[in-house]
Amino acid sequence: MAEQMTLDIGSVKGKESTLFIVLNGEQANLSIEEIFDSHRFKKFMAISYVSSPKFFAKVVKGFEEVEFILGIDSAEQAINFNSVYSLLIDVNKRIDFIKEFDAELQTKVSEDKVKIRYCNTNLPIHTKLYLLENPDTGNTRVIIGSANLTERAFSGEKQYENIAIFDNQPEIFKIYLEWFKKLFSNSFDFVPEEIKKKIKQEKAQTIVLDKEEKANIVTNEIARNLYHIVPLSQEIFEEWKASPQNIQYQAELQANEVRQKTQIIAAITKKDGKVYRLKPPQEIRKMNIVVDTLVSNSLKEDQLQVCQKLIYWDKNDLIYIVSEDNKTAEFSQKAEKDEIKTHISLITEFVEAYRKFTVTKEDKHLGKVMEAILYAFMSVYLWKIREDLVIQYGGESYRANVPIFLVLGGRAYSGKTTALEIIGMLLGNYPPYFISYDTIRKGNVADRELLEGFFGSEYLAPILVDEMPISFFTGRTGENIIKNVSNNAKGKHPVMICTTNMNEFNVPQQILRRIYYLQIDSEFDKRYNLESQEHLTKIRRGINSTLFKDFTYRMGELIREGEPLYLRNDYLYAARKIFEEYYRECKMDLPEWFPKKPFNDYEERGKRWWQEKYKHHKELFQIRPDGTIYVEINELFKDPKEKDFALNMLGPGCINESSHILILNEKEFFEYIGEKKKLNPVIRLIKGLVKS
């Protein structure tokens, strides 16, 4: 057997592989490169589910000819998620798949040297079959078993799988080849002709299409395949329509995606006896629903036009900007040293204004303004950190550890809106650089469809919203939005940076752990209004997106070099390092107020609040022998709203019972407010008796 090669996608060092391989009747140990040997075989034919386009590309790249039929994951089987109708209308899914390929493989796809298909059937394909052939030498290979073409299955590390390999056994190869050809002949091209043409025209360009282009792809494909697409039985059609209600998804965003697709399917079909057939293309073209809903989650881009369309390109880890005519250009650009120094000086002057013109002149208030700028710069990479945490620690719940909501709380005249404006200018937003809450409001609550559409977009520029009401964080609609997108937004997605009134800001723990709260509470002194406005005007005139472009350029270098972007307790780690580097390069001292670690303002605020309550009302806190504290809640809180506020301000582990009475855990509460733990009454009594 040839010496085993190693690639980062296949080997398991020092561990017993969980991939059980039988080669020609005997147990074997093969690497991925040996299993899918593109040196020995020239043609690769397969039916399998694929989770990662990158992994797929690594496996098939070396073959001269590829014919691949996409199957489904077992988790999708219940809803026929990859059926012909679902994939027919999901242009985004097909584009995203091809975008992960390098230029060489994209070219092979456009020239039909790599054919990716999906079957014309409403029955799910759960087969895992791989056929390798070399017509010149006559060598053949059949691979069957449980393993889908995924890194998880073939790494031999994540889960138990098995495959049986039959080399140069003509009868077996012939049987499976005939079955494969039958399915292949009854399949559709996964890559639309319009995408192939775009690849040929633009070569290695990122594939970007507008809504109209995507709608045209759907209608053109319907026209091309109208008489070959199988009709839907009434049973399947009704099942599809009911699926958003009948299927219990863990993630509501997934249910929304299915709901969107079922609406489109219902719109483009009509009943014909006991089946549903596609409407004629000319009729479908007249339907606004096709155009309006094909783009991910119906994002109403016209309402968020202050943001530039920034995308992350995996091929070189840089940020690109998409123009109005859907042309892409590099946004990440290295800046000249004097340009960097100008912007670092302006940012420093802006932050220093919070000392010069405000009533409170503490460094920590200035540091929070700088922290907001660091978060904004890092925002286009937070999705990447979230994905890495899931991979590194093996659980979807870790995604929510990186908050995608930054909340700047402050009193009137605290400068929080000005900070939001300067952040917008630094990012390259268009005037007025941020939006008001009214822009994302629908009736009396936030527009859930709009916001979830925004977070479902791959455009990474953060949305900046001024004066978010407290009801967004405490009401059911806002709470559901925050929880859903924090837990379930996957892949590339943007974040939100917003301001709110500090005096009213009071949120439950389940929301608090999903946001990053910075309290900018030092009010600007009105006596210096004219001077501070002149100072701000000077800064506005000099600021643009030059530094942000350089920042994304340097981030691309860090990513390519495999440098750490974050620490487990600091997801802005890379931003801090790059800005420290800016100060060194400019030969400027790093300000004392420059934040070296994250803030914990909400907890600090809660600590101060409860410290004062305990200090002035000790008689209402009854320390009990069992290690708890009974609080005279009706005496301590005269207003029910104050009670809710107070409970939300308590740290983790402090509350023992809070339904109709309030009982605190003594140890946790005193640690939280920084008070020395009191001896409980029994011990005090015993010590007193011993002493006497």
Of 102-116, 264-278, 333-347, 585-599, the least confident? 264-278
Confidence of residue 456 (pLDDT cuts 50, 70, 90): confident
Interval 201-208 mean pLDDT: 65
271 by DSSP, 3-state: which?
Answer: strand
Query: 3-class secondary structure for 184-198?
Result: HHCEEECCCHHHHHH
Give the pLDDT confidence of 152-203 residue by residue, as tens digits: 888 766 678 999 999 999 999 999 999 999 989 888 888 888 888 888 877 6
Average the pLDDT over each of 172-181, 333-342, 346-355, 444-453 and give the range with the smallest value.
444-453
What are 371-406's pLDDT values in tens digits? 999 999 999 999 999 999 988 887 788 888 899 999
Would you give the DSSP letter of residue 524?
B
DSSP string of 142-198? EEEES--SSHHHHSSSSS-EEEEEEES-HHHHHHHHHHHHHHHHTEEESS-HHHHHH
CA dihedral 196, 197, 201, 204 (to 10 degrees): -10
Note the pLDDT of residue 38.
Answer: 95
Instruction: Return the bridge partners of 322, or none.
Output: 328
Q: How far apart are CA 477 and CA 471, in angstroms?
A: 9
Q: Which residue intervals of 247-328 are DSSP H helices?
A: 252-268, 281-284, 288-293
Return the structure tokens found at 411: 């009193």
Beta bridge partners of 117: 69, 189
Band (79; pLDDT cuts 50, 70, 90) = very low
Tokens of 473: 């964080």
Note the Cα 540 to chain centre separation in Å.
32
The tens digit of pLDDT for each residue in 5-52 reads 333 333 444 456 788 999 999 999 998 999 999 999 999 999 998 878
Percent of the chain topping pLDDT 70: 81
Closest CA to 108 of 40, 38, 186: 38
Instruction: Encode pLDDT of 353-362 as tens digits.
Output: 999 988 777 7
Q: Are 403 and 572 in contact (CB under 8 A)?
A: no
What is the Cα 205 distance to its own chain's centre? 23
pTM: 0.59
Binning pLDDT at 50, 70 and 90, where does residue 259 land? low
Q: What is the pLDDT of residue 354?
A: 92
pLDDT at 392: 84
Name the most confidently modeled range: 51-60, 213-222, 324-333, 415-424.
415-424
Angle between helices 363-378 and 416-427 (to 10 degrees): 30
> Would the pLDDT of 646 be above 50?
yes
The Cα 352–Cα 225 span in angstroms is 65
pLDDT at 327: 76
CA–CA dist 213, 530 (Å, integer): 51
pLDDT at res. 229 = 67
- What does the pLDDT look like over 132-155, one tens digit per residue? 999 999 999 999 999 999 888 887
Tokens standing for 565?
Answer: 């972007």
